[in-house]
Amino acid sequence: MDSAQIFFYVLIALIVIFIIRKVLLYRSVKHYTPADVAAKLKKDRNVILLDVRTPQERKQDYIKGSFHIPLYDITADQKELLKFKDKEIICYCRTGNRSLIAASKFRKLGFNSANLKGGIIFWNRAGLK
């Protein structure tokens, strides 16, 4: 086997590991549709909507009533998050990928967390404000 073949097999193995990791991460977190989240926010006071996008993204558009802690600040802002310990934290980002990571981090920190499926893009498509 030459070095090009070894490189190819290593690359394939890394891609497979990445896909498996993503699937396991996805399965470890609850996911809600925008309609589910809107209904939960109306009837349940123990639900918090958390925007994990960058400050620049939040300036462009955000879901009314949501809190904002960028993904890269989640572990640094643990004291700020303690006030949400008894609530379900539904994370959102632009498409649902970063919020999936955030919801997983929250679970590891002992919070009840979930992900807004499709992020703010799906929220806006559903016509929710």
Domain ranges of the chain: 31-125
Q: What mean pLDDT comes out for the span 104-116? A: 91
Kindly state which CATH superfamily the domain 31-125 is placed in: Rhodanese-like domain (3.40.250.10)
Residue 92: beta bridge partners? 51
> What is the band of 62 on the pLDDT scale with cuts at 50, 70, 90?
very high
pTM: 0.81
Active site residues: 93
52 and 95 Cβ atoms separated by less than 8 Å? no
> What is the band of 67 on the pLDDT scale with cuts at 50, 70, 90?
very high
Across 2-6, 23-27, 104-108, least confident range: 23-27
User: Both tokens of residue 129?
Assistant: 């404000």
CA nearest 108: which of 76, 75, 82, 71? 75
Alpha-helical (H) ranges within the chain are 3-27, 34-43, 55-60, 78-81, 97-108, 119-125
